[in-house]
Amino acid sequence: MDSTAPTDLDGHVVVVTGATRGIGRGIAHHIGKLGTRVVVTGRKQDRLDAAAAELADLGIAHLAFQGDVADVATNGRIVAAAVGEFGRLDGIVANAQSFRPVTPLEDVTESDMDLLLNTGPKATLWLMQAALPHFTAAKRGRIVTMGTAMGLTGAPGYGPYAASNEAIRSLTRTAAREWGRNGVTVNCVLPASGQHRLPPAGSDPDREAAFAAMYEDHPLGRDGDAEHDIAPVVAFLLSDASQYVTGQSLMADGGGLMRA
């Protein structure tokens, strides 16, 4: 690739929270293969070790950081570790979030709400705040947040998750307006890549059938691949190709929202 291309991420340093599996892992692999040095995080040390070993096998420069993003100070430490290791920070992808089982709204508890809000919009804000001084000093920064179509459709059983993700989209717009003059763009990706969340094949036929049914009336007719379908959209938002895009929500769902 031409090193002056606006899509170039070679040599950049990007934090991807929740990168031990699923979408975060796909993002880390994709941008790492483009030459980005990645700081990957997760709570579970064994998964983090496995993720770091994969990155090493791929020859991707990386730093693995263990911690719970619900903790304010952890987000500061993630950013400090990134800058300490690599001497710069170009972007963050606030991807990690904890989940609760599907629950009707009347049964949602305070702890359900607290978990989703603490690991969703609040964690996203703490990470953005920690990164801002570095972006301001560099007069350039890229923030990518994650939302869900369920927040738009009001998916039954997903109340806390949907509400927390709509709060993330709201923070995305406010940050875009407050920090645009600092050279910072802030955008939200709403992905669909759920295959990795399914139980082992054959163990829950009802859930597998419900998952398959989601793709019956779907423009592209398939689930998204974290590395090849979702991550390139994130890479665009981390690059200079998106320098005039901010405060936006971008569906990376194969058009699935249109059939909701």
Ligand X SMILES: NC(=O)c1ccc[n+]([C@@H]2O[C@H](COP(=O)([O-])OP(=O)(O)OC[C@H]3O[C@@H](n4cnc5c(N)ncnc54)[C@H](OP(=O)(O)O)[C@@H]3O)[C@@H](O)[C@H]2O)c1
Is residue 44 involved in binding ligand X (CB under 6 A)? Answer: yes
Cα radius of gyration rounded to whole Å, the chain: 18
Is residue 254 involved in binding ligand X (CB under 6 A)? Answer: no
Q: Would you state the structure tokens that stand for residue 128, as one six-digit string?
A: 């953005």
Rounded to the nearest whole angstrom, what is the least distance from the CB of residue 198 to ligand X in the complex? 11
**What are the backbone dihedrals phi and psi of residue 14, each rounded to the nearest 5 degrees, phi first?**
-135, 135
Number of other residues whose CB lies within 10 A of the CB of residue 107: 9
Is residue 75 involved in binding ligand X (CB under 6 A)? Answer: no
Question: What is the total count of residues that contact ligand X (CB under 6 A)?
Answer: 29
Rounded to the nearest whole angstrom, what is the least distance from the CB of residue 127 to ligand X in the complex? 10
Is residue 146 involved in binding ligand X (CB under 6 A)? Answer: yes
Angstrom distance (rounded) from CA 187 to CA 81 = 24
**Which part of the chain contacts ligand X (CB under 6 A), choosing from 42-50, 78-86, 177-185, 238-246?**
42-50
- Which residue type occupies 84? G
CB nearer to ligand X: pick between 80 and 138: 80
**Which part of the chain contacts ligand X (CB under 6 A), choosing from 89-97, 131-139, 180-188, 200-208?**
89-97
Is residue 20 involved in binding ligand X (CB under 6 A)? Answer: yes
Angstrom distance (rounded) from CA 89 to CA 79 = 8
Q: Of 68, 85, 112, 240, which one interacts with ligand X (CB under 6 A)?
A: 68
b/e per residue, 195-226, with b = 16+ CB within 10 A? eeeeeeeeeeeeeeeeeeeebeebeeeebbeb
Footprint of ligand X on 195-234 (CB under 6 A) = 196-197
Residue 161 bears catalytic tag: yes
Angstrom distance (rounded) from CA 120 to CA 188 = 13
Could you list the residues that contact ligand X (CB under 6 A)? Answer: 17-24, 41-44, 47, 68-70, 95-98, 119, 146, 148, 191-194, 196-197
Active-site positions?
Answer: 161
